[in-house]
Amino acid sequence: MRALRTELRRTNFAGREVTLAEGALVLAGVGALALGTGRDQGRRLGHGVPADALVLTGIGALGLLDDLLEPRQRRAGRAVSKGLRGHLGALREGRVTTGAAKALGIPLLALVGAATAPGPRSGPMIGVDAALAAGCANLANLLDLRPGRALKAVLPAAAAVAAAAPRDTPRGRSGARLARAAALPAVLALPADLREHGMLGDAGANVLGAAVGTALARALPAPARAGLLAGVLVLTLASEKVSFSAVIEETPSLRALDRLGRRELPSARGSTGEGA
């Protein structure tokens, strides 16, 4: 048990010790809530388990694998690729990094989730829905660089879908259920995240982003989903060139929201560098 706690320990951007156990607990919470009963869940897979629960748990598990194995690679002196471009570059060189496993595995799992969702479903929109879920999973992870930042993005989106998703169709009810499955663990994680006792890591950020992305895909009409996907793709591509932290620090309203509820920075540390 002590060895596991050590493996989950990290030093964040401010030099404070945090634990990735928060992300593992969020993963477990989302997976458990996605097991909820009802005919609005779409298809069931092995042993009658709802596809949504298996898909989201798989996405979070890929993130947890990255959380645990990447530090070992660093300690072993192996090169660690960062960013989508870095992981794809490693694949071209014949190296499968944990990040590359996520880059391939998360879209495939999201595709399973979109293909097994409650109807109506159409071929082209299945691809859009899968890309939206995978894109939101990645975007939440990109935001998880400061205490509470990813959660402040996830929670309003989840709350909006939970409140506004149409209840007159199985698809809409499924979207509301998945939004609640993201919102409750996120609310419970927020205090520890803001106090810098824990952090989401890839496991927590990926599963929350995927749950919200899937909920949006179930709740929104096709044109809105396509437009939202375009926005997610633009932000993802921009992240390869631009630091989100720098943009937030340079924008007063975003900076105020980002620092809301957070602890003061140690005086010896800067506030714009990237970090865990």
pLDDT of residue 82: 63
Q: Are 209 and 178 in contact (CB under 8 A)?
A: no
pLDDT of residue 189: 97
Interacting residues of 209 by C-beta distance below 8 A, sequence separation 6+: 136, 137, 138, 139, 140, 141, 150, 154
Read off the pLDDT of residues 119-169 as tens digits, 9 standing for 90 and up. 877 788 999 999 999 999 999 999 999 999 999 999 999 999 999 999 889
pTM for the predicted model, two decimal places: 0.88
Q: Give backbone dihedrals phi and psi of 207, rounded to 5 degrees, phi first.
A: -70, -35
The two tokens of residue 220 are 């929104």
* DSSP-derived secondary structure for 213-249: HHHHHHHS-HHHHHHHHHHHHHHHHHHTTS-HHHHHH
pLDDT of residue 192: 96
pLDDT of residue 87: 58
pLDDT of residue 49: 73
Domain boundaries, the chain: 2-259
User: Which residues of the chain, if any, have pLDDT below 70?
Assistant: 1, 3-4, 37-48, 71-97, 267-276
**Which residue type occupies 164?**
A
pLDDT of residue 269: 46
- Side-chain-side CA neighbours of 120 within 13 Å: the count stands at 5
Q: Strands of the chain (E only): list them.
A: 9-11, 17-19
